[in-house]
Amino acid sequence: MSKIVTRFAPSPTGHLHIGGARTAIFSWLLARHYGGEFYLRIEDTDLQRSKQEYTDSILASMRWLGLDWEGEPVYQTRRMDLYRQYVEKLLQSGNAYWCSCTSEEVDAMREKAKQLGQKPRYNGHCRDLGLGPGPGHCVRLKIPHEGKIVFDDMVKGRIAVDVGELDDMVIQRADGTPTYNMAVVVDDHEMGITHVLRGDDHVSNTPRQILIYQALGLPVPTFGHVPMILGNDRQKLSKRHGARAVIEYESDGLLPQALVSYLARLGWSHGDQELFSRQEMIDFFDGKNLNPAPAAFDPAKLEWCNAHFMRQLPLEELASQVRPFLERAGFAKISKERLLPLCVMFRERANNLAALAESFRPLLVPAAELACSEKDAKKQFTLKGRDHLEKLKAILAKTEPFDAASTDAALNAYVADNNLKFKEVAPPLRTALMGFMGGSHLNEIMDFLGRDETLARIERAIGMCPE
Ligand code: GLU
Ligand code: ZN
């Protein structure tokens, strides 16, 4: 097989959303699977709505997702001369013509066609007039009078469209700019694209683009139109469904590998495997098994997926990934020696990096600043609770060395010697140390806090108990 070349072609009119991200992932995977090339093209010809900040944001999201591309991104606005050259070729070969019809005239033709029960279309008025360029003149493609455009879509299977359904479309506007379909064909050809994967909102453009390829005598790439991602209620996906821009997932503390694995599964399958490493996706994604039915976005499953990847991450990497979130939570200067045990204690309990960083908070603030749950304090800081805390305080003051093993032994001895149950003793201690009934193993917490901080927290809790 010859080399597979794909691209992702976002319009920089907003941040990268999960629908676009999934299209990008598929295109990237197809190229990587076959050892091909993947390019990025910024479709910025809509000058009103395109913004540099969105281009920057899309590129940043692509990098964050790990979707690397070949060379520099191609910007359509920098290629206007190229598009004009191709339009010129079509004029020269008689496959395109100048049209002087005003938009009112074209509207009237469309209206008339509708009244005749036909598709609204341009009636070919200028097709054989032999007009040249002039103010207000656009260029139209001279399409065949009859025939079928047939292509085998990678997702939807065979698609056939009657040429009679189409009309002599504009390829260059009166202001000299190319229309969307013209620019895309020129770019995809010039960039050597062999496989075009895109959202199925573009499927009706494809027969028009194929007509342009044919008129230019160029090979037609393979197309694949990926269905939309819907919300859980099968409605058009929106914020309401918990869908967010890729940069928002980043700041929520999702791992990029989790988002990539989750999105790849939306509309693609490999047996019933749910979670994929990057390499597995590259190995398995061969462009088949793409589902023509729209997939539904499930935020809970994404979170589950993220929790899985967080658990898989080597400890040191998890620590360095959580650091920016810790800084954001106000803990800038935590040494690695302190950060690693925090990650060990809490990694199983958090579903994203932001939540993980936040779960460290009770162990990082000084005793006096520890937030205390009113509900848990009321339940645990009782007369009985006070008694346990006072005795534990005396024991822990003398426990040597003050580490996880000996604090554990001390705690167990206190329970056994006094004929108590662990679940009578642990809750008041836990609430004293964490400020609420959560956290990790008590001995690990105490080991992390050290003796002084442990005793200070117990002391403070005793002060909150009735006398
Ligand atoms: N710029 C188009 C979009 O964002 C992509 C079109 C294409 O991939 O051909 O929907
Ligand atoms: Zn005309």
**Residue pLDDT, tens place only, 140-195:** 999 999 999 999 999 999 999 999 999 999 999 999 999 999 999 999 999 999 99
Token pair listed for 79? 């290629």
Give the pLDDT score at 346: 95
Tell me the DSSP string of 390-453.
Answer: HHHHHHHHH-SS-SHHHHHHHHHHHHHHTT--HHHHHHHHHHHHHSSS-SS-HHHHHHHHHHHH
Question: How many residues are listed for the chain in this entry?
Answer: 467
C-alpha 21 to ligand 1 mean position (Å) = 12
Q: Provide CB contacts within 8 A for 195, sequence distance 6+.
A: 4, 5, 6, 27, 30, 154, 221, 222, 223, 224, 287
* Residues facing residue 5 across a β-bridge: 37
Residue type (1 letter), 286 = D
pTM of the entire structure? 0.91
Does residue 1 register a pLDDT over 80? no
User: Is residue 54 very low, low, confident or very high in pLDDT (cuts 50, 70, 90)?
Assistant: very high
CA gap 56, 52 in Å, rounded = 6
Mean of pLDDT values over 91-99? 98
Query: How much is the average pLDDT of 69-95?
Result: 98
Residue 454's contacts (CB-CB under 8 Å, 6 or more residues apart) are: 396, 402, 433, 446
What's the whole-number mean pLDDT along residues 208-235?
A: 96
pLDDT band at 119 (very low <50, low <70, confident <90, very high): confident
Work out which ligand 1 atom sits closest to the CA atom of 43: 1
Spatial distance between the Cα atoms of 320 and 311, rounded to a whole number of angstroms? 14
Q: Is 166 in a helix, a strand, or coil? A: coil
Q: What is the pLDDT of residue 341?
A: 96
Residues above pLDDT 90, as percent of the chain: 94
User: Of ligand 1's atoms, which has the minimum distance to the CA of residue 10?
Assistant: 4
Amino acid 126: pLDDT: 98
More confident residue, 242 or 294: 294
Mean pLDDT of the chain: 96
> What is the Cα–Cα distance from 226 to 196, expressed in whole angstroms?
10
Please name the helix (run of DSSP H) or strand (run of DSSP E) that holds residue 161, with its range, or none: strand 157-162
| Distance, CA of 375 to CA of 363 (rounded, Å) | 20
Whether 278 shows a pLDDT value over 90: the answer reads yes
Instruction: Evaluate: CB of 224 within 6 angstroms of ligand 1.
Output: no
Residue 358 clears pLDDT 70, i.e. is over it: yes
Tell me: pLDDT of 23 over 80.
yes
Residues annotated catalytic, as ranges: 239
93-97: average pLDDT: 98
Q: How many H-runs (helices) and E-runs (strands) does the chain carry?
A: 18, 12
Mutation choice for ligand 1 from 5, 198, 204, 209, CB with most ligand atoms inside 8 A: 198
pLDDT range class, residue 332, cuts 50, 70, 90:
confident
In the reported structure, the alpha carbon of residue 5 is separated from the centroid of ligand 1 by a whole-number distance in angstroms of 16
At 242, the pLDDT band (50, 70, 90 cuts) reads confident
Q: Mean pLDDT across the stretch 379-390? A: 97
Best substitution site from 7, 8, 11, 187 to test ligand 1's pocket, by max atoms within 8 Å of Cβ? 11
pLDDT, residue 32, reads: 98
CA of 128 to the centre of ligand 2 (A): 10
220 CA from centroid of ligand 1 (Å): 17
Q: Is the CB of 184 under 6 A from ligand 1?
A: yes
